[in-house]
Amino acid sequence: MDESTSKFDRRNFLAGSLAAVLASAADAASFGQAPVPAAKAPGGPLKIDAVELMELHGRYTEPAGVDGQWQVNPLDVYDDLRPQPYKDQPSGARQVQTSAIYLRIRTAAGLDGLYGPIEKSAAIVVQTDLRPFLMGKDALAGEALWDQMYRSNRHSRDGLFMMAISAVDNTLWDIRGKYYGVPVYRLLGGPTRPSVEMYASCLGFSLEPEKVRTRALSLQSEGYRYQKWFMGYGPGSGPEGMRKNVELVRILRETLGDDTELMFDAYSGWDQDYALEWAQQVERYRPHWIEEATHPEKIDSFAAIRRSTSIPVASGEHFYGRWEVERYLQAGALSVVQADPEWCGGTSELLRIGTVASLHDVPVIPHGHSLRAAIHIIASQSPMTFPLGEYLVNKMRHYYHFERDPLTPEKAHIALPTGVGFNVQLDPARIESQTMLKVE
C-alpha cells in the first residue's frame, strides 16, 4: 500500500467503510482466507470467537548433497555426538516433504488475523492454554491481552509459553493492521526508511576454504555489506578445531577485503576461555561480533568476554522478555541484542526490548528465524536502535513455501511490505493437504 492508498478518507472509515482494505484483499478468499470485511466503528470491542491452528503439508525440490554444513553446538563436547567433518557432495536433486503451522484468530465481526509459520511446540501451548483464555476477549486490546497472557501461567516468563504468547501477539497485530487498513509498521509509527537492509546469514554453507571464498564473493556481489558465518568447531575438537575456526576468519577477511563486515556465531557451543582464546587470535581481522559464545544463562561469562576483547559481543535469540535483556545490559554483557519476535514475546515485547536497549545505546538486530514481524518492527523504529535485519540465505529459500509473496531481498534490502497487517497470503497451489491441529 503506497502513501496514496493508505490515506483513505477518515470519515468514511469511521462510518465503517473499508473499501481500500477490501480491494487489497480481494483475492484472499481461497483456502480459508476470507476477504477483509467491513469492521465496526472504532471504539467498540472486536471479540475473538475462534483460535485455529492450521497445519499445511506439501513438498518442494532442492539440490541434494549441498548446504548441509553443521554448526558447533553444546553437545559437541561429546565425541559420539559430534558430526564428522562436512564436505559438499552434489548429487542432483531431491524432493522434500514439508509442513508448516499457521495461527488464525477469528473475530465475531468477521475479521481474521493470520500469522506463521510457528513452531509446533509453541502451537500446542496456544491450543491447550491460550485458546480457551482468548475466547470472547477483545482482539484490539493488545496490551491488556499480552499482560493477561503473561500473568495467566506460572511458566509464562520464558520458553514455550513465551513463544506461544509471541504467536498470539503477532496474529493480533495482523488483525489490528487489517482493522485500520494499514501495514503493521504504520501502526508502530513508521516507516523510518524505504527498505530494510539485511545481513547474509550463512548457516549451512560448507566451510571448505574454496567453497567459503566462492560463496562469500557471491554474496558480496549481491550487495551484502554484512555476512555472518557459523563456527564448525568447539572445545571438543581440540587445537585442530581452533585452528580451523581462526582460519575461517582469516580466509573471509582476505577474500572480502575491508569493506564487508564479518560476524561469527558459536551457537552456545563454546565456553568463556575458548571464546577468549579465539578472540585473541582473530582480533586483527576485526570481526563485527561474536554471537552466543556460550550458554545464554551465563551472563557473567558474556560480560567477561566483552571486557576482555575489542570484538563486540552479540546474543539474544534465546532471550524471553525485556527483563532478561535488562539484566544483560546492566551487567555490561552485550554489544548487540538479537531478540526474536517469534520467541521473545512477539511484536509488542520486541518494541519494549528496543526501548530498554536504547537506554544503554545498544542496537537491536532481531534474530532471523522468521521475517514478517521483524521487518515491520525494524522499519518502524529508529535506525540507531534497529539498524539491520538477518536473512538466513539457505533457510529462507523454502521457509515460506506455502505463501504467495515471501519477503525476499534485492541488493541486500527488503522493500517495505504494502499489504494490510502482515499480509500473509497462502498459496493454494502449494498446499497438498491441510489439517487442523488438535490436542486432546
Q: Which active-site residues does the annotation give?
A: 367
**Rounded to the nearest 10 degrees, how much is the dihedral formed by the CA atoms of 373, 376, 381, 387?**
80
**Rounded to the nearest 10 degrees, how much is the dihedral formed by the CA atoms of 203, 286, 302, 238?**
70
93-107 and 112-118 as β-strands: parallel, antiparallel, unpaired?
antiparallel
* Helix H or strand E encompassing 273: helix 272-282
Ramachandran angles phi, psi of 401, nearest 5°: -55, -35
Measure the N-to-C terminal CA separation of the chain; round to a whole number of Å. 42
Instruction: Please tell me the distance from the alpha carbon of residue 316 to that of residue 336, in angstroms, as a whole number.
Output: 8
Instruction: Please tell me the distance from the alpha carbon of residue 219 to that of residue 311, in angstroms, as a whole number.
Output: 23
Closest CA to 380 of 175, 184, 205, 201: 184
Which residues have a Cβ under 8 Å from the Cβ of 82 and sit 6 or more positions away? Answer: 75, 76, 236, 237
Which amino acid is present at 274? Y
Q: CA 348 from chain center: how many Å?
A: 14
Closest CA to 50 of 115, 119, 111: 111
Closest CA to 327 of 299, 368, 355, 292: 299
421's torsion region: left (phi>0), alpha (psi -120 to 50) or beta?
left
Degrees (nearest 5) of the Cα angle 46, 47, 53? Answer: 110
